């Protein structure tokens, strides 16, 4: 029996019978990886989050494993000088993400390594695809995303996560992986990814703010929810193993709707950089206690129907759940 609603119940009983419980195993912790050595640099406006070179990244990992966080999502932040028209740094086998994957797998083979597959950190335009004449081209971008996913898989990634919001990206990636013997590599599709103002600290971390225009031609309009269902449906059809709703806190209704329509699909929700920064800033301003707000919001995301929560709070929340201050 769950959810013993008795006003006389003790806190202990309420804790025991709560319907929703967040666990360290639910979390994915994002990391920003950058070329070089001995680099661990803070990111402006992104409290507690750093850019790591691969050698420093593997030094950080014991600190997350200690609290039971064993899934990471890698974002490459290449040097400015490496950016070009086709985002060649993204699909290079010797690029920053493959290098980081190999380093992690060398020391921590059991960690689940998820890699973000996109072009925005690698293109001069800062857009998630190939640009011609001021337009982001969907179909021309697909082979580049496929090659990027293949480079990550070849380096040892367990799951690739296409985030470019190009139609057909899951299909293109599934095909190239299978053709090259990586049929065991899974795909986490950023299916319902909205054009949101809540990605600010992330774009600072990635230096991936578009040089012109915005991402509204390929990311979703926040006024639409039925469209999210179509995106999810299409990605599942194309072979996604897990789908995602992003952002999370402001999109609990979308999480709920996807869960209701697909009771069995593994569902991830991305509590994004701006949502994280908002809680940090409000807590600092004395609006609420940070830990209480963090737990309430992350629990709400799971209660809405997410199985997996990608969050910059992963380590802090896991530490708290484990009983450490
Ligand atoms: C880019 C990408 C973004 C995020 C994840 N992948 C930013 C964007 O679409 O502009 C945002 C994550 C966050 O804010 O934490 N493909
Ligand atoms: Zn992108």
In the chain, the domains with their CATH numbers are 22-321 (3.20.20.70)
pLDDT score for 83: 92
pLDDT score for 3: 61
Instruction: Based on the residue annotation, tell me whether 280 is a catalytic residue of this protein.
Output: no
Round to whole Å and give the CA distance between 149 and 153: 6
* Catalytic one of 246, 264, 280, 302: 246
Round to whole Å and give the CA distance between 220 and 192: 7
Average pLDDT value for residue range 136-157: 97
pLDDT score for 11: 82
Q: CB–CB of 142/96 below 8 Å?
A: no
Q: Which helix (H) or strand (E) holds 271?
A: strand 267-271
User: Hey, which residues does 117 pair with through a beta bridge?
Assistant: 162
Contacts of 316 (CB under 8 A, 6+ apart): 48, 291, 294
Instruction: Based on the residue annotation, tell me whether 193 is a catalytic residue of this protein.
Output: yes
Round to whole Å and give the CA distance between 298 and 316: 12
Token pair belonging to 248: 């999370």
Round to whole Å and give the CA distance between 172 and 147: 9
Closest of 269, 271, 293 to residue 281, by C-alpha: 293
Identify which has the larger pLDDT, 222 or 325.
222
Q: CB–CB of 239/146 below 8 Å?
A: no
pLDDT of 50-64, one tens digit each? 999 999 999 999 999
What distance in angstroms lies between residue 115's CA and the mean position of ligand 1's atoms?
Answer: 13
What would you report as the CA-atom Rg of the chain, rounded to the nearest whole angstrom?
19
| Residue whose CB lies within 8 A of the most ligand 1 atoms, among 75, 149, 201, 202, for a mutation test | 202
What distance in angstroms lies between residue 195's CA and the mean position of ligand 1's atoms?
Answer: 9
Given pLDDT bands bounded at 50, 70 and 90, which one contains residue 100? very high
Please say if the pLDDT value at position 37 is more than 70: yes
């Amino acid at each position: 029996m769950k959810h013993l609603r008795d006003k006389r119940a003790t806190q202990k009983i309420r804790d025991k019978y709560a319907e929703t419980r967040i666990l360290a195993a639910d979390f994915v912790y994002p990391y920003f990886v950058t070329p070089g050595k001995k680099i661990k640099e803070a990111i402006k406006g992104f409290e507690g989050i750093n850019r790591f070179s691969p050698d420093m990244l593997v030094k950080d990992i014991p600190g997350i494993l200690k609290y039971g966080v064993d899934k990471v999502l890698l974002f490459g932040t290449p040097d400015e000088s490496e950016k070009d028209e086709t985002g060649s740094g993204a699909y290079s086998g010797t690029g920053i993400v493959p290098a980081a994957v190999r380093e992690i797998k060398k020391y921590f083979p059991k960690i689940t390594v998820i890699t973000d597959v996109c072009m925005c950190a690698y293109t001069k335009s800062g857009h998630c695809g190939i640009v011609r004449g001021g337009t982001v081209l969907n179909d021309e971008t697909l082979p580049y995303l496929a090659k990027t996913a293949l480079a990550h898989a070849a380096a040892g990634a367990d799951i690739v996560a296409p985030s470019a919001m190009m139609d057909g990206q899951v299909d293109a990636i599934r095909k190239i992986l299978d053709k090259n013997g990586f049929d065991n590599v899974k795909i986490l599709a950023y299916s319902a990814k909205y054009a949101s103002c809540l990605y600010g600290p992330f774009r600072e971390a990635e230096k991936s703010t578009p040089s012109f225009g915005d991402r509204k031609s390929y990311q979703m309009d926040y006024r639409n929810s039925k469209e999210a269902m179509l995106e999810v449906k299409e990605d599942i059809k194309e072979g996604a193993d897990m789908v995602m709703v992003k952002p999370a806190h402001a999109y609990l209704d979308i999480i709920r709707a996807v869960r209701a329509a697909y009771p069995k699909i593994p569902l991830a929700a991305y509590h994004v950089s701006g949502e994280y920064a908002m809680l940090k800033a409000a807590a600092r301003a004395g609006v609420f206690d940070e830990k209480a707000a963090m737990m309430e919001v992350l629990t709400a995301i799971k209660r809405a129907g997410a199985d997996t929560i990608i969050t910059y709070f992963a380590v802090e929340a896991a530490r708290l759940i484990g009983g450490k201050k």
